[in-house]
């Protein structure tokens, strides 16, 4: 008698789990044979404009631009980075390369209007001694922002350029 009760409870548990799984897959569009009325095609036709940018690919608000909204590039010393937006007329940013040191950048672009630093999540990883534990940001009025990945533990230099955000309307302050 006990084995029969156990078998029924296991069966109900399996059925309940299958129902929950099927409901979840159906709500996520997986395993469903229903037509969505063409909304997928409509969504593909309308490209989403990234935050802080306009439909022409220009940055309108640097503080709202998210990583991944620009073009990924490889730079000096195998550094990988990103370039977002379009350069302002007369900007010195097009002469910069991903991977340049902070000193190299300031030799080309000059001193920023504003700057600041912040730590990244990598700073909290136990026994992580690699680069990018902190970031340093330089803001240039009428040109945009430059983001540097800080050095590894014990290396508190400015780091290397990893992200160029072109913005002709940059206010110059963080």
Q: Which of 63, 62, 158 is nearest to 111 (CA)?
A: 158
C-alpha span between 62 and 51 (Å, rounded): 9
Write the pLDDT tens digit of every residue in 131-152: 666 788 999 999 999 999 876 5
C-alpha span between 130 and 15 (Å, rounded): 48
CB atoms inside a 10 Å sphere around CB 65: 23
Q: E strand or H helix at 102, and its extent?
A: helix 102-109
Cα angle vertex 108, ends 161, 168, to 5°?
Answer: 75
3-state DSSP helix/strand/coil percent for the chain, to nearest 5?
A: 30, 20, 45
Q: State residue 168's pLDDT score.
A: 93
Q: Which residue is associated with the tokens 């229903």? A: 34
In Å, the largest CA–CA distance within the chain is 86
C-alpha span between 119 and 137 (Å, rounded): 11
3-state secondary structure of 81: strand
Q: Which residue is associated with the tokens 């937006």? A: 85
For residues 100-119, average pLDDT: 92
Q: What is the pTM of this model?
A: 0.67
Q: Where are the domains of the chain?
A: 2-45, 62-166
Q: Is the pLDDT of residue 34 over 90?
A: no
CB-hemisphere CA count at 13 Å for 48? 5
For residues 117-144, average pLDDT: 80
C-alpha span between 139 and 42 (Å, rounded): 38
Write the pLDDT tens digit of every residue in 57-80: 899 898 889 888 899 999 998 889
């Amino acid at each position: 008698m006990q084995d029969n009760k156990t078998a029924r409870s296991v069966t109900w548990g399996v059925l309940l789990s299958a129902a929950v799984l099927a409901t979840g897959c159906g709500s996520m569009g997986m395993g469903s044979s229903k037509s969505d009325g063409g909304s997928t095609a409509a969504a593909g036709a309308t490209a989403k404009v990234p935050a802080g940018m306009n439909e022409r690919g220009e940055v309108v608000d640097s503080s709202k631009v998210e990583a991944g909204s620009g073009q990924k590039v490889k730079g000096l010393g195998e550094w990988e980075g990103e370039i977002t937006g379009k350069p302002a007329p007369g900007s010195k940013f097009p002469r910069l390369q991903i991977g340049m040191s902070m000193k190299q950048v300031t030799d080309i672009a000059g001193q920023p209007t504003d700057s600041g630093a912040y730590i990244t999540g990598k700073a909290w990883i136990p026994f992580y001694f690699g680069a990018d534990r902190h970031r340093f940001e330089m803001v240039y009025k009428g040109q945009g922002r430059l983001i540097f990945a800080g050095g590894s533990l014990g290396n508190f230099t400015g780091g290397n350029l990893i992200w160029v955000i072109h913005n002709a309307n940059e206010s110059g302050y963080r």
